[in-house]
Amino acid sequence: MTEPTANLMPKPIDVIPHRDPFLFVDEVTSFEDGVIKGVWRLTGEEPFFAGHFPGRPTLPGVLMCEAIAQLGAVAILSDEQFAGTIPLFGGIDKARFRRQVVPGDTLVLEAELGRMSARAGKATGRAHVDGEVAVELGLLFVMAPA
């Protein structure tokens, strides 16, 4: 898999098709040896906080999973061999939520690509806040035409 040099981290908005309000990776911070890292800064202005939950805003766990998958998609689509495709969820394995994430938190994301083929791939991911694990999971990607 072709990876960028340290000075040229891919910008998520330039690589994956997601857009506001459903782009959850603000920045890629590193990408080497099949491991990509990034961040999602939660301001509290995100619309889901108003309803999840009133008086106790909490980031939905499924959105943490989505953020990790988006980061993995940045890694996959940064490789020219996957041009013209889009990685879709094929499955989520063993997701474990370990910490509440609230407005003002910075979610540090990590995805490690596993076996990849032209049709599918696997990854593992995790997200941290202040060094504490918020979620860990396995991902299965299915490659579809873009």
User: What is the set of domains in the chain, with CATH numbers?
Assistant: 13-145 (3.10.129.10)
pLDDT range class, residue 120, cuts 50, 70, 90: very high
pLDDT range class, residue 2, cuts 50, 70, 90: low
Whole-structure pTM over 0.85, yes or no? yes
Residues serving a catalytic function are 52
Residues 108 and 80: beta-carbon distance below 8 Å: no
Residue 130 has pLDDT above 90, yes or no: yes
The CA-based angle 19-11-50, given to 5 degrees, is 40
Integer angstrom CA distances of residue 84 from 17, 19, 76, 81, 87: 12, 18, 12, 9, 10
In this predicted model, what pLDDT tens digit does every residue of 27-80 receive, in sequence order?
999 999 999 999 999 999 999 999 999 999 999 999 999 999 999 999 999 999
pLDDT at 5: 55
Residues 107 and 39: beta-carbon distance below 8 Å: yes
The CA-based angle 73-77-80, given to 5 degrees, is 160
